[in-house]
Amino acid sequence: MGLDSVEIVMSWEAALGVTITDAEATVIRTPRMAIDLLAAKLGAIDDARSACLTHRAFNRVRHGLVSGAGVHRAAISPEAKIRDLLPRPQRRARWQAVQAASGLPTLPRLDWGFGFLFAPTTVADLARSVVSTSPQALKSPHEPWTRHEIRTVVRTVVTEVCGAKDFSDDDDFVHDIGLD
């Protein structure tokens, strides 16, 4: 397994609170195989009616921006740039207030100038980041996982770690998606 693959597996473990053994990880060749393994570990149900994790993340981020930083709700769209929503004066303090008001355990460190290549720049980027790092915080304590939610986490982590966006659940991680 290459570094990207190891980082993806570790991200799935952290996001979903599970352990994937080395033996299990070495046989995962496609996103579908990862989804199947994680669904089995989490006792996932096949309920397509559950709320979308990305939508839940967007709502939590929006709540944090409105309540914590005083941003007007109408200004918050998926395409909205975070730096435009949080103007320079007290930007860092407002970001901390957003995190506290959102109720999320962590929000990513943002790149306010130069720096991180993959730092979220839009509200949609931020919502995807929350899905890949804190999906458990988007669910009620005893709410069961669904296969659809696990699929969302698996695919979002792959995109966040390696930048791949256009891939199917049956694409091979190495040959089709380009992971090492």
Total domain count, the chain: 2
Q: Which pLDDT does position 88 carry in this prediction?
A: 80
Q: What is the DSSP letter of 145?
A: P
Residue 168: other Cβ atoms inside 10 A: 11
Within this chain, do residues 65 and 127 fall inside the same structural domain, yes or no? yes
Q: Which residues of 16-42 are buried (b: 16+ CB within 10 A; e: fewer)?
A: beeebeeeebeebebbebbbbbbbebb
Query: Is 150 part of any domain?
Result: yes
Low-confidence residues of the chain: pLDDT under 50: 114-117
Rounded to whole angstroms, the Cα distance separating 85 from 12 reads 30
Q: Which pLDDT does position 180 carry in this prediction?
A: 73
Within this chain, do residues 70 and 106 fall inside the same structural domain, yes or no? yes
Q: Which pLDDT does position 106 carry in this prediction?
A: 85
Q: What is the DSSP letter of 110?
A: P
Within this chain, do residues 83 and 18 fall inside the same structural domain, yes or no? no
Of 37, 40, 14, 39, give the one whose Cα is nearest residue 25.
Answer: 37
Within this chain, do residues 124 and 67 fall inside the same structural domain, yes or no? yes
Rg (alpha carbons) of the chain, rounded to whole number: 17
Within this chain, do residues 130 and 65 fall inside the same structural domain, yes or no? yes
Q: Which pLDDT does position 113 carry in this prediction?
A: 52
The answer, as to whether pTM is greater than 0.85, is yes
Question: CB of 173 within 8 A of CB of 155?
Answer: no
Query: Is 175 part of any domain?
Result: no
Within this chain, do residues 108 and 158 fall inside the same structural domain, yes or no? no
Q: Which pLDDT does position 117 carry in this prediction?
A: 47
| 3-class DSSP assignment, residue 146 | strand
Q: Which pLDDT does position 144 carry in this prediction?
A: 92
Q: Tokens representing 87?
A: 């103007």
Of 19, 9, 11, give the one whose Cα is nearest residue 42.
Answer: 19
Q: Tokens representing 114?
A: 């130069």
Q: Phi, psi at residue 152, to the nearest 5°?
A: -60, -45
Within this chain, do residues 43 and 57 fall inside the same structural domain, yes or no? no
